[in-house]
Amino acid sequence: MSLEEKIISTFKQKNSKLAEVFNQAFELFEQKGFPTKKNEDWKYTSLKKLLKTDYSLVTEINNNIEAKDVEPFFIGADTYKVVLVDGFYNADLSHVDTDKITISSMQDAIENNAELVEKHFAKVADNNQEMVALNTISFNDGVFVNIPNNVILDKPIEVINIATGVLGDTLIQPRNLIVVGKNADAKLIERHQNISENTILTNSVTEISVGENAYYYHYKIQNDTEVSNLVDNTFVDQNRYSNAYVDTFAFGGNVTRNNLSFLLNGENAVANLDGISLLNKNQHVDNFTFVDHRVPNCDSNELYKGIYDDKSKGVFTGKVMIRKDAQNTKGDQQNNNILLSENAQINAKPQMEIYADDVKAAHGCTIGQLDDDALFFMRQRCIPLKEAKAMLMYAFASEALKNVKVEELKTQINKQIAQKLGVNIEFGV
């Protein structure tokens, strides 16, 4: 039985209040199946090889994970700690010592926060996308976060997704919902980590609602093992005067596909998308972004930096839609890349669709190598070649770190960049 057939055969209605959503997603996935390269949005990323694996589907909680298995993957700061194990919320490993906010499993939220879940669930995510529909019909759990109006969170939320591989090669599908109230301010750090030697395919969906005049920062750390594959679907709905930031740092894993959508539904909202992809060996990262300017007076700022070595492959597709009524829009999109090997690849497609008249918009893409003159200048000052290259690459990429507001996280990212570049240099915070 294929994975697709296995999923369809095990589909069941999860909750009567959400039955219509589940059934619509089931019909779409049954009709379309997994995306292929015939789909223009998946032209440069194929799941065909990954889907040949006979994945097991996780259906129950694994309680055999201990704190010592998870602790190495936290950033070492004072945070609200949330742990998902094979897609299930683990209350014993999670530590949320506050009554100012609500953090729970999605299953608990469906039962105990039904009104809020029904208001937002599948309202931001695009269920016409195959991988989103797949998650909708077959997720078992995830994390629910509700930050009420006027709450300024005193420390970040840290979400660690642990894959155990206890069932062998495994498909994991967490479903997350984050609701940020009016005038609230919050930061969330998200990481996926495979602690086994088995092949893992994670298909995650996260829906985020950012309330009026709220600030929300979301940091994604993608530094998984060589047998780990991730399809990350994140959707952000912004209300008036809100500011939302999503930073994606891709350093490890086998195949990673990031689908990131911002829906600007309130005037004077500001969307910020930054990313660094630092790849080698045969790693593949595909960043697909979509910013939808639906109303006037909104800004969007997008900066993705990529460094590719060996036979690694990067893909960047950035879509900015400025609709007819979205006057006085400001949109900026930049994608800059460095190829360190003649076998490395980057496929980039920045694009804008503009239907309004009063718009300031720009987009661009660069692909090149390290500057030989700059290298020569540094070598003349007795800096070894390897360290000189690393310093140039860090200088190139570090602009995309400007919105990291958690110092311990920035320190960890700098260490991961140095490790990836193979140098013993403490890059500045």
75 is a domain residue: yes
User: For 171, phi and psi rounded to 5 degrees?
Assistant: -100, 125
User: Structural domain tally of the chain?
Assistant: 2
Which residues, at least 6 apart from 409, have a Cβ–Cβ distance to it below 8 Å?
75, 77, 156, 189, 219, 221
pLDDT band at 256 (very low <50, low <70, confident <90, very high): very high
Beta strands in 35-124 (DSSP E): 56-57, 80-85, 88-89, 102-105
How far is it, in rounded angstroms, from Cα 187 to Cα 403? 11
Task: Say if residue 223 is in the same domain as residue 88.
Answer: yes
Which residues, at least 6 apart from 99, have a Cβ–Cβ distance to it below 8 Å?
none
The residue that leads in pLDDT, 18 or 236, is 236
Dump the DSSP string for 297-355: S-EEEEEEEEEE-TT-EEEEEEEEEE-TT--SEEEEEEEEEEE-STT-EEEEEEEEEE-
Domain boundary among 266, 289, 322: 266
Domain boundary among 266, 283, 316: 266
Domain boundary among 266, 294, 310: 266
Query: ∠ at Cα 245 (339, 274), nearest 5°?
Result: 10
User: What pTM value is reported for the model?
Assistant: 0.95
426 is a domain residue: yes
Structure tokens at 79: 């945070």
- What letter represents residue 415's amino acid? K
| Mean pLDDT value across residues 83-97 | 96
Task: Say if residue 78 is in the same domain as residue 205.
Answer: yes
| Tens of pLDDT, residues 390-421 | 888 888 999 999 999 999 999 999 999 988 88
How far is it, in rounded angstroms, from Cα 27 to Cα 329? 37
Q: Which domain holds residue 7?
A: 3-266
| Predicted local distance difference test score (pLDDT) of residue 71 | 96
pLDDT band at 387 (very low <50, low <70, confident <90, very high): confident
For the chain, the average pLDDT equals 93
| Tens of pLDDT, residues 46-72 | 999 999 999 999 988 888 899 999 999
| Predicted local distance difference test score (pLDDT) of residue 427 | 67
How far is it, in rounded angstroms, from Cα 196 to Cα 5? 26
| Tens of pLDDT, residues 163-187 | 999 999 999 999 999 999 999 999 9
Structure tokens at 390: 């690393």
Q: In the 8-state DSSP scheme, what is residue 152?
A: B
303 is a domain residue: no
311 is a domain residue: no
313 is a domain residue: no
- Per-residue pLDDT at 44 exceeds 70: yes
- What letter represents residue 249's amino acid? F
| Tens of pLDDT, residues 201-248 | 999 999 999 999 999 999 999 999 999 999 999 999 999 999 999 999
Structure tokens at 303: 């900066």
Structure tokens at 135: 């998650």
For the chain, how many residues are written?
429
How far is it, in rounded angstroms, from Cα 122 to Cα 124? 6
Closest Cα to residue 93, out of 146, 153, 159, 154?
159
pLDDT band at 377 (very low <50, low <70, confident <90, very high): low
| Predicted local distance difference test score (pLDDT) of residue 234 | 98
> Which residues partner with 286 through β-bridges?
257, 315
Residue owning tokens 């639906």: 294
377 is a domain residue: yes
| Predicted local distance difference test score (pLDDT) of residue 137 | 92
275 is a domain residue: no
How far is it, in rounded angstroms, from Cα 255 to Cα 313? 10
Task: Say if residue 374 is in the same domain as residue 262.
Answer: no
Which residues, at least 6 apart from 402, have a Cβ–Cβ distance to it below 8 Å?
274
Contact between residue 244 and residue 272 where contact means Cβ atoms under 8 Å apart: yes
How far is it, in rounded angstroms, from Cα 69 to Cα 379? 43
365 is a domain residue: no
Task: Say if residue 249 is in the same domain as residue 380.
Answer: no
| Tens of pLDDT, residues 257-284 | 999 999 999 999 999 999 999 999 999 9
